[in-house]
Structure 1
Amino acid sequence: MPIGVFTMVGIYIIVWWTVLFAVLPLGMAGETKEPPTDGAQWGAPRTPNLKKKFLTTTWVSALVWVFIMALIFTGWLPLPDFSSAPAV
């Protein structure tokens, strides 16, 4: 096995956050230019759909992670070996 379990989990977490920032703006329509009366911010969406976006982020991240793991295990994306100390 070229990498350990903690490295795999770390790669998944990085992929998940990257995909989250790519998914967040999807589906956001331009809101009206009327001033908010309920104390909300001007740029805040009325329906952010965060649960749907988190679920989408999770399954897209899983697909990307599987692709990255396939590249690592087939040797197309070699990772450096940091386990050995450099010679002095």
Structure 2
Amino acid sequence: MTWFTGIVVFLLVWWTALFCILPIGARPDPEGDPAAGGWRGAPVAANLGWKVLATTALTVVIWVGIWFLVESDWLSFRSGWLALPSD
């Protein structure tokens, strides 16, 4: 995996993990006053700092797993039963 491919895979996994982590711990505001800038159903405390850190930590673990899988011969399209037939 080249450095560019690694960055692209990291960003794709990061955004996917972020959307998985965002609903964790979100409690909607049952009252929500639109005049004060609130909206019924909007989270009371979003905790975005914690969620960004958790997303980054999860992404690093997943990315390292992807990197090992791509760099290993365990799942290879160059040799083994997944290899394309050579002409």
Q: Residue 66 of structure 2 aligns with which residue?
A: 68
Q: CA deviation at 1:46?
A: 1.4
Name structure 1 gaps, 5 residues minimum.
Answer: 81-88
Q: Residue 8 of structure 1 aligns with which residue?
A: 6
% identity of equivalent residues: 36
Q: Residue 52 of structure 1 aligns with which residue?
A: 50
SS in 2 for 1:75: coil
Q: CA deviation at 1:13?
A: 0.4
Match of 1:28 among 14, 26, 29: 26
Q: CA deviation at 1:44?
A: 1.2
Name structure 2 gaps, 5 residues minimum.
Answer: 79-87
Q: CA deviation at 1:19?
A: 0.2
Between the two structures, name the one with larger relative contact order (CA 8 Å, sep ≥ 6).
1
Q: Please provide the CA RMSD for this pair.
A: 1.9
Distance 1:12 1:51, change over 3 A: same
Q: Size of the alignment, in residue pairs?
A: 77
Match of 1:40 among 34, 38, 41: 38
Is residue 72–residue 79 contact of structure 1 (8 Å, CA) maintained in 2? no
TM-score normalized with structure 1 length? 0.76
Distance 1:63 1:79, change over 3 A: farther
